[in-house]
Amino acid sequence: MNTQTKDRVVAGTLIALIAIGMVVALAVVVRLTALVLLVLVAAILTAGIDPLVRWLQAKWHLPRALAILIIMLLTIVVVLGIISFLVVTAVSEGIQFAEHTWPAMQARILGWAGHLHDRFPFIPKLDVMYERLRAQSGEIAGYVWSTTRAVFGVLGALVSVVTVIVLTFFFANAQDDMTRNFARFIPPAQRAWVLDVTHLMGRRMGGWVRGQLTLAVIIAGVVFVGMTVLDVPYAALIAALGGMGEMVPMVGPYVAFVPALAIVLVTGAPLWKIITVIIFFIALAQTEAYVLSPRIMRQAVGLAPVTTILALITGGTLFGIVGAVLAIPVAAGGRVLLRELVFPAIEGRHPGEGKSGR
């Protein structure tokens, strides 16, 4: 058997094994979707924090486990701080709204609705509907609370978060040992190349974490400055919501827009301010979608904008919000695998001969 025939046999075998592996992986994902998603989140977070962990190890000569623990504790503190800020700000500003803004707004709405009912008798009187709503507010509150518990599954979500934290710590701490054990199953001739591709996949997937955090900070900062300049109440709360919403790619501006528009409408803002707020968020959403996100994500994960959009749609359709969040890092890792393994095998070349996905 000559070299060319041997290469074709190897390429055909690789393609067949990849196809079988994809079918098996799909079957596993379908049956163990929840567990697979948790493991995938932990793996992506591991890739995201790995450069920080290695930097901390090199700078302070710390054991890897201690460096990981420090990074994770700092992350948890920051996240809890943001959540606490949102809760405290929402409660304090909600009380302020209820004491100072709502009474005048309520009287204005009821007066306007009364004039409207006088002109068009077929329209129900708003004050009657309002009194009925107040009478049933306790039942409504109970229903909302029970529905929220059923839909969001607070206990299940807490267990999932703890599971991801534990898995991330385990993966990050055992990363080098796992890599060495994985390398033993690879023939020596291809070992360096496979490990290089695996490292590149991890770097691309981890780059998404850092890129998305960068986008979240940018969106939160721009929204805060914009709302402050436009003198929109609760600017910090709106900005924090926008930054958190940006963790789902390209959603942050819309998450911030809804409360901002509601606030300027109910507080009786002049028409020019309402129009300006709408224009501001349209411009922010377009800038984020066509300027910020493509540039940052191309540098972080190496994906073209159209690939990013298709990955978001596919992930969101299959697995909802979690799928949309994980779509880009998975697509980035898949791109490296295609360019470094699948395409060379199809073209009859040895892996690593073609252009790299770096």
Q: What is the pLDDT of residues 297-355, one digit of tens each?
A: 788 777 777 787 788 788 878 777 777 777 888 888 888 878 877 777 676 666 655 44
Q: Evaluate if residue 99 carries a pLDDT over 80.
A: no
The pLDDT value recorded for residue 280 is: 97
Nearest CA to 174 out of 50, 87, 353, 321 is that of 50
The pLDDT value recorded for residue 86 is: 72
The pLDDT value recorded for residue 331 is: 85
pTM: 0.66
209 vs 224: which has the higher pLDDT: 224
d(CA 147, CA 17): 47
The pLDDT value recorded for residue 229 is: 95
Per DSSP, the three-state class of 231 is coil
7 vs 133: which has the higher pLDDT: 7
Q: Evaluate if residue 249 carries a pLDDT over 50.
A: yes
Q: For residue 271, give Cα distances in angstroms to 21, 106, 226, 290, 297.
A: 59, 19, 17, 29, 37
For the chain, what percent of residues have pLDDT higher than 70? 72
- For residues 209-231, average pLDDT: 92
SS3 percent helix, strand, coil of the chain, rounded to 5, is 85, 0, 15
pLDDT band at 272 (very low <50, low <70, confident <90, very high): very high
Q: For residue 287, give Cα distances in angstroms to 94, 201, 222, 224, 293.
A: 31, 28, 11, 16, 8
Sorted by sequence, the CB contacts under 8 Å of residue 330 that are 6+ apart come out as: 40, 205, 311, 315
Reported residue count of the chain is 358
Q: Evaluate if residue 32 carries a pLDDT over 70.
A: no
Mean pLDDT of the chain: 78
Tokens in use for 84? 């606490």
Of these ranges, 100-114, 122-136, 201-215, the one predicted with the greatest mean pLDDT is 201-215
Dihedral sign from CA coordinates of 184, 190, 192, 194: negative
Q: Evaluate if residue 231 carries a pLDDT over 50.
A: yes
pLDDT digits (tens, 9 = 90+) for 36-73: 778 888 888 898 899 999 999 999 989 999 999 999 99
Q: Evaluate if residue 2 carries a pLDDT over 70.
A: no
